[in-house]
Amino acid sequence: MSLRLALIGYGEVGRILHADLVARGVSDIVVHDRLFADPASPPSRAAAEDQARVASGLAEACAGRDLVISAVTAGEALNVARAARPHLDQAWFLDLNSVSPQTRKAEADALAGSKARYVEGAVMAPIGPKRLQTPILLGGPHAAAVAPLLDALGFSVSPAGEEIGRASAIKLSRSIFVKGLEAIVTESLASARHYGVEAEVLASLGNTLPHPDWPALARYLLTRPLVHGKRRSEEMAEAAGMLAAAGLDAPMTRGTVEVQARQGALGLTGEPFGRLEDLLDSIAERTTALSSCRKS
């Protein structure tokens, strides 16, 4: 496919998109990540392993592109849009970051007056299982126009309306539940393990919220913040900002920000632990060590 494409951000999302788009025949792809400045960083190593074409900087990545996809962290999304503006021609600028409607509008304003066409994209599920086919809601006045192009590339997209921020409101309202559930399970099972009653608690949860394998579900919910806590914490901070802008209180969401950030800082992935009990014990040990370090 003769499309000139740029991927900004080479983390989990960027790497999956690169692999799947190359597999579908998109040959002109350039990638950029601010961590490419460090040859030893995970994005640098991933780009080398994938034999991705690396741009020297954001300006080179954006120049002459037909489609620019921003897949960075919530905290960097607006900065990327602002920095990319001078280097975009008539490109579609597809923002896949988990940010608030207010941040989306600020990004759109940052590109206003340029030839670039801003489109918000709300990724509605973890990207790992379905990869390029992960459902994405598109928002903004250019959403319907870019949808056929993204469909042809293999994306699974649905326009959510012309109003900037609507797709993000759907995404973050969902995330309040999903990331909050991870935080609640983390605290619930930390308590249960401390008192040696995790088996009884999980059995009771199975009666209250039926699931065929609550221990496996609990393990999944525990490990997601361990692996992605920093990014999820930034996403929840955006959700808290969204609620504040609406005049709504957000004590649960603010608490989720804290839990996700703490879990992401533990340095655990969950992968080496065969049993749920071992994982819970390691989390407890690292949490105690992290708390002692912060107090000293």
Shared-domain flag, residues 14 and 150: yes
Shared-domain flag, residues 111 and 257: no
C-alpha of 204 from chain center: 32
In whole angstroms, what is the distance from residue 25 CA to residue 39 CA?
Answer: 28
pTM: 0.90
> Which tokens in the block code for residue 80?
């990327």
C-beta neighbour count of 205 within 10 angstroms: 19
Shared-domain flag, residues 89 and 158: yes
Shared-domain flag, residues 152 and 172: no
Shared-domain flag, residues 142 and 20: yes
Confidence (pLDDT) at 270: 62
Shared-domain flag, residues 185 and 105: no
Confidence (pLDDT) at 269: 76
Shared-domain flag, residues 190 and 158: no
If the chain, 296 residues long, is cut into consecutive pieces of 10 residues, what is the mean pLDDT of each piece?
92 97 97 97 97 97 97 95 95 97 97 95 94 98 97 97 96 97 97 96 95 95 94 96 97 98 89 84 87 61
Q: For the chain, what is the domain count?
A: 2
Q: Look up the domain containing 180 and give its range.
A: 167-295
> Which tokens in the block code for residue 272?
């080496």
Confidence (pLDDT) at 291: 64
In whole angstroms, what is the distance from residue 273 CA to residue 228 CA?
Answer: 17
